[in-house]
Structure 1
Amino acid sequence: MSLQSLALIENWPVPTAAAGVVRADGTVLGTHGPVDHRFPLASVTKPLAAYAALVAYEEGAIELDEPAGPPGSTVRHLLAHTSGLAFDEHRVTASPGQRRLYSNAGFEQLGDHLAKATEIPFAEYLRQAVLDPLGMTSTTLEGTNSPAKDGVSTVEDLLRFAAELQAPRLLDPRTVAEAMTVQYPGTKGVLPGYGHQNPNDWGLGFEIRDSKSPHWTGSSSSARTFGHFGQSGTFLWIDPVAGVGCVALTDRAFGQWAVEAWPPFTDAVLAELSERRLSER
């Protein structure tokens, strides 16, 4: 049975959109739109890159607290956007661990560090460690192969990843739990598109909703919700309380349209799921 709420993407002012919802066991509860269409992910690439880094950690290729990035920074700092690197420049603007400076440059240095440690180009390591094992055959890094922003994927593929995040097969569940735990609690910072947040909570490559306001998820999203959105008009969230993950991909750059459209969409999805659970009792 499909989810009627997913049809709300038809009202979004975008040329193309697709969306889907999946449970931890991989059951797809509903989809809408061309789920096999390949969309640029922009920063939704980062969770995939983070997962690859966590695989490298479990394989013993890297340690989370080993030096990486600018002086004093570690792999953990890079994953948690606390390395001190600027947004899009390989320039240090703060001491590691002091501020939550969302940084594409940080993820690019993470990718370089991983490539050196494994002696495998990052895009190839990502494919071997994450994409192929999950059957994400339509997902690639393109352009400059930036771990921060150059992913291209489909809703079908990302639903596989969303199921993995809820019930890990590639990683020890304890590693995934650590990735969804706030790193450097109490750190202030800017959530791109939504302004200053105090605190601006983040895990290891995944943004954690907690009490952020305003936010791109819904007003009914649990505080434990985690995920990422991208400037190409894309998002992926997992709500552990609701027991589902949701993916929405578009081909229009993030802007005011998304600020207005995404939260009510998420609230409608969660409300429909709640109603369905009640009716099934």
Structure 2
Amino acid sequence: METTTFAATAGFPHPALIGVTNSAETLAVQGDPHVVMPVASVTKLLTAWGVFVAIERGLIDLDEHAGPAGATVLNLLDHTSGLPMEGAEPQRAPGERRIYSNAGIDALGAHVADAAGMPFADWMLREVILPLGMDDTDVSGRPSAGARSSIHDLLIFAREVLRPTLVPGALRGLALTVSHQGLRGVVPGYGGFADCQWGLGFELKGVKSPHWLADSFPPETAGHFGALGSFLFVDRSRDLAAAFLSGVPFSDEHKRIWPPLTEEIVARYGG
């Protein structure tokens, strides 16, 4: 593992903890990889994995009812349930619009908890966090945005996405494939897109621009960023993933450095 400094973070006025991995090992880190910070909406990726384990165990199914009337587990995962960012009153019928929703992901956590007969945080700890050895990670907060983790643990999770051990490869593939093609939607902080592509829990780069990933990334690149200056991306075409933590609210400074940083990561480690 290389300890490095990324040029794109020069002048960034906050902590910039970064890690890069392939499916086998950590390639590089900037900063202390065991410092724990809030990951905000990157939590949604961890939650999605807990949902996939529940699907694999036969506790729930993608097509079963969950959330508001007419919505399914799949609708909650891909932000097409109609629920707003926060609140219980749907804004659209399921499947009509991609409405980014913390409320939908929290409802999903509650649905899995009911099926598993235990709090969702306990399910996540037992079925995802402990099996993967993510010892720095706390998932006791909201399923949508409440986790705390480290670069070290986020890279463990990224390797799991690149080479799954807890869920079948086919289910991972479905999670990283566009769900509900051609839907208009909004990426918070970046605006609206006529085709706001999302998989199951994972945002897909698609052709969105401006975006937190560099424009050169392939459309199938998957990941998420968080409102407390975090991101995780997985580029299966390069067998490459990376994570970023700063612990401060997302701002124009993050928007400034993230595209050149992700470009630098690929240039140095993308092979």
Query: Under a length normalisation based on structure 2, what TM-score does the superposition of the two structures give?
Result: 0.97
Aligned residue for 2:82? Answer: 84
CA contact (8 A) 1:7 1:32 kept: no
Q: CA deviation at 1:227?
A: 0.3
Quick one: distance in 2 between partners of 1:257 and 1:132? 34
Tell which deviates more after alignment, 1-10 or 172-181. Answer: 1-10
Residue 129 of structure 1: which of 127, 130, 155 is its match?
Answer: 127
Cα pair distance change 1:188/1:5, threshold 3 Å: farther
Quick one: distance in 2 between partners of 1:82 and 1:112? 17
**Structure 2 segments unaligned to the other structure (5+ residues):** none
Q: Which amino acid in the other structure matches residue 18 of structure 1?
A: L
1:18 aligns with 2:17: yes
Query: Under a length normalisation based on structure 1, what TM-score does the superposition of the two structures give?
Result: 0.94
Q: CA deviation at 1:90?
A: 1.5
Q: How does 1:39-118 map to 2 (within 5 A)?
A: 39-118=37-116
CA contact (8 A) 1:6 1:20 kept: no
Aligned residue for 2:167? Answer: 171
Quick one: distance in 2 between partners of 1:209 and 1:162? 17
Q: CA deviation at 1:240?
A: 1.3
**Structure 1 segments unaligned to the other structure (5+ residues):** none
Q: CA deviation at 1:269?
A: 1.1
Residue 149 of structure 2: which of 143, 148, 153 is its match?
Answer: 153
Q: CA deviation at 1:9?
A: 3.3
Q: Could you say what secondary structure the match of 1:266 adopts?
A: helix
Q: CA deviation at 1:195?
A: 0.3
Q: Number of matched residues?
A: 271
Q: CA deviation at 1:170?
A: 0.7
Aligned residue for 1:181? Answer: 177
Aligned residue for 1:120? Answer: 118
Residue 255 of structure 1: which of 247, 251, 256 is its match?
Answer: 251
Aligned residue for 1:209? Answer: 205
Dislocated runs of 4+, deviation >2 Å: 1-11
Quick one: distance in 2 between partners of 1:5 and 1:208? 27
Q: How does 1:29-48 map to 2 (within 5 A)?
A: 29-48=27-46
Q: CA deviation at 1:141?
A: 2.2
Q: Which amino acid in the other structure matches residue 231 of structure 1?
A: A
1:245 aligns with 2:244: no
Q: Which amino acid in the other structure matches residue 237 of structure 1?
A: F
Q: CA deviation at 1:273?
A: 2.3
Q: Could you say what secondary structure the match of 2:145 adopts?
A: coil
Cα pair distance change 1:221/1:168, threshold 3 Å: same
Q: CA deviation at 1:159?
A: 0.3
Quick one: distance in 2 between partners of 1:176 and 1:76? 14
Q: CA deviation at 1:251?
A: 1.4
Quick one: distance in 2 between partners of 1:10 and 1:37? 20
Q: Which amino acid in the other structure matches residue 254 of structure 1?
A: F
Q: Could you say what secondary structure the match of 1:87 adopts?
A: coil
Quick one: distance in 2 between partners of 1:220 and 1:272? 14
CA contact (8 A) 2:42 2:231 kept: yes
| Cα RMSD after superposing both structures | 1.3
Aligned residue for 2:216? Answer: 220
Question: C-alpha offsets along residues 221-246 of structure 1, whole Å, 9 cap, x if unaligned?
Answer: 12111000000000000111221000
Q: Which amino acid in the other structure matches residue 189 of structure 2?
A: G
Q: CA deviation at 1:68?
A: 0.1
Q: CA deviation at 1:3?
A: 6.8
Quick one: distance in 1 between partners of 2:185 and 2:5? 33
Question: C-alpha offsets along residues 22-45 of structure 1, whole Å, 9 cap, x if unaligned?
Answer: 1112x1110011211100011000
Quick one: distance in 1 between partners of 2:251 and 2:211? 13
